[in-house]
Structures are given as C-alpha cells and as structure tokens.
C-alpha cells in the first residue's frame, strides 16, 4: 500500500478563526463567498443532509477521504489516525448499493474527537447516530453493510456534494446543509459573512419595530430595505 495514498493531516484552522465561524451559519458563510469564484458559493448540493437536523453544528478543519463502491477501509484508517477538531469529508461517489458506515464508525470518530462526518454516499444506523449527538451528513440510508477493499485516499483533493474540498478547508454544517470554505479565502469570507450577519440583525430590528408600531396603531418605519428602493429607483427589473 503506497504512502502516497495517505497524506499527512493538514494544519488545523486557528482557534480564533474557528471561534468566529462558530457564531455564523452555513448560509451566512455561503453569502460570504459570493462573487469569489467558488463553485456554488461553497454550498453542497441538496442531497447532502443532516441525520439529525436539530443536532449540534458541524464545524472544523477538513480531513478528506476518497473511496468508491461501498468500500469503507479508508474510512476506518482515517478514523483511527485522525485528531481532535477535524471533520471527515468523504467522497463516496454517491454509490447507492452499500452503506459506507454506521454506528460503530461514528462512535469511534466521536471518541477520537472528530467534529463530525460528511459523506457523499449512504449510511445505516441512522436512528442510533441521530441520538448520539455526533453530527453526520449523508445522501440517505440503507441497511446493507460496506465492503473492505482499500486502499482509497486520505487528504487528497476530493469532491463532495458537488463541491471541491481540500484537506484543511473549513467545513460547517447545520439543519440547512453543509458549506465548504476554501482555506485561502477563509478570513475574507468570514469578514463578509459577519457583515451580512450584522445586516440581518439590523433588519430583524426593523421588522420587529414595524410589527410593534402596527400593533400599537402608530406609523411604522419603512419596511423595504435600501437596496430594494435603489433598484426600483434605477428601474431594475
């Protein structure tokens, strides 16, 4: 088995950047990536969903795995050689005939400190996983167990949910889905996402004040945001 199949772990994303990301949502980080030339603004496709949409947020540095045909050998290798704070992102080629993993692998991943798993493929034991408090995202479920062939690849560039993922990228997931932020764009994307977050908080206050004024029989503030009025004024369709 060639060592070239399994590359070293990437440097973890600095704690201060992870702390900033923890205050944001996948949607805000996708907004932060708009106009930066990233496929789908970093948003994985609609087929990648949380086992438990109301479970804990997925957040961490990407550890990548590439496999195919229902083979979970490289997933085992990555699990037992991983470190705390990483998120395992698996390109399983959306293979629909075997579940790549279940409760045992997710239990081991949680024990070693992984922050979650995202797999472009299918899994089993979803009820157990959903109750575990460990965030897992997949294309769906079937009970048929995986194969063990190997070697697969670890920490090579992959595609997951239609999005290119490199080891070391930021992975963030929640009930609405998963976003990938390329490492080189992380600080800029965080800043733009934080600006959008501040804008949304301001809009929430305007909406709340509008509702309060209407209920009190007072003249409400203008509810339309500035950009709507500007586009109307410019006759933008």
Helices (H), the chain: 15-22, 26-32, 73-80, 103-112, 126-131, 186-215, 226-233
| Nearest residue to 119 (alpha-carbon basis) of 102, 107, 144 | 102
Q: Tell me the two tokens of residue 29.
A: 């980080």
Mean pLDDT of 187-215: 97
Distance of CA 37 to the CA centre of its chain: 18
CB 152 within 8 A of CB 1: no
In this model, does residue 22 exceed pLDDT 50?
yes
pLDDT score for 144: 97
pLDDT score for 221: 92
Rounded to an integer, what distance in angstroms lies between the CA atom of residue 70 and that of residue 136? 17
CB 165 within 8 A of CB 97: no
pLDDT by residue (tens digit) across 99-146?
999 999 999 999 999 999 999 999 999 999 999 999 999 999 999 999
pLDDT score for 3: 67
| DSSP one-letter code for 224 | S
Mean pLDDT of 17-32: 98
pLDDT by residue (tens digit) across 93-103?
999 999 999 99
Spatial CB neighbours of 82, under 8 Å, sequence gap ≥ 6: 9, 63, 88, 109, 112, 113, 114
pTM of the model: 0.94
pLDDT by residue (tens digit) across 164-182?
999 999 999 999 999 999 9
């Amino acid at each position: 088995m060639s060592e070239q199949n399994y590359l070293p772990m990437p440097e973890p994303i600095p704690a201060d950047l992870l702390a900033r990301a923890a205050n944001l949502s996948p949607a805000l980080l996708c907004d932060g990536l708009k106009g930066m030339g990233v496929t789908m603004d970093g948003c994985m496709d609609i087929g990648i969903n949380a086992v438990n949409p109301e479970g804990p947020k997925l957040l961490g540095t990407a550890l990548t795995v590439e496999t195919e045909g229902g083979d979970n050998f490289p997933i085992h290798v990555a699990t037992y050689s991983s470190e705390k704070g990483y998120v395992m992102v698996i390109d399983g080629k959306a293979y629909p005939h075997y579940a790549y993993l279940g409760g045992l692998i997710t239990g081991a991943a949680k024990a070693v400190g992984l922050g979650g798993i995202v797999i472009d493929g299918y899994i089993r034991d979803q009820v157990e996983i959903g109750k575990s408090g460990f965030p897992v995202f997949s294309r769906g479920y079937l009970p048929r167990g995986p194969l063990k062939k190997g070697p697969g690849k670890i920490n090579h560039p992959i595609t997951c949910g239609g999005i290119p993922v490199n080891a070391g990228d930021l992975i963030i997931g929640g009930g609405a889905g998963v976003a990938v932020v390329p490492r080189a764009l992380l600080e800029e994307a965080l800043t733009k996402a934080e600006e959008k977050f501040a804008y949304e908080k301001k809009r929430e206050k305007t909406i709340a004040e509008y509702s309060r004024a209407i209920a009190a029989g007072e003249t409400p503030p203008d509810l339309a945001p500035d950009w709507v009025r500007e586009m109307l004024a410019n006759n933008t369709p």
